[in-house]
Amino acid sequence: MSSYNIFLDDERSMDKTTWVTFPEGSWVVARNFKDFVSTIETMGLPEFISFDMDLHDSHYEAGARSGYQLCDYEDLPHKTGLACARWLKEYCNKIGSPIPKFQTHSKNPGGRREITKTLSEGISQ
């Protein structure tokens, strides 16, 4: 498989995400959990991932109600960037691979913190 990176965001484009720096290379845009999983299962692990937390309008509404602290997104019908991070961690553990380099470009502080925490804990042994 060729080397690539993933930009996970439901609506932004990379050129409008000016508060972070992106590594050079080929980028695939994933707009939701299904796209994220499908891309990795088809293309293999990326070199780098840039995560957004809120991947659906219902996430923005739930986040606003909680003051953008981590709220109970699990009851919502659409999965978040945190769900993608959890899936990635489980997938990497299953195949025995390190978690790819990543950043969170989400403007949701609770989500940004939880994605970073989840992936920084690494793979269980």
Q: Is residue 33 part of a domain?
A: yes
What would the pLDDT profile of 57-84 be if each residue is shown by its tens digit? 554 455 555 555 554 556 655 688 999 9
Q: Give the H or E element holding residue 101.
A: strand 101-104
Compute the distance between CA of residue 93 and CA of residue 55 in angstroms, rounded to an integer: 24
Q: Is residue 31 part of a domain?
A: yes
Q: Is residue 19 part of a domain?
A: yes
Number of independent structural domains in the chain: 1
Q: Is residue 90 part of a domain?
A: yes
Q: Is residue 125 part of a domain?
A: no
Collect the ranges in the chain with pLDDT lower than 70.
1-2, 56-78, 122-125
Q: Is residue 93 part of a domain?
A: yes
Domain region containing 96: 5-120
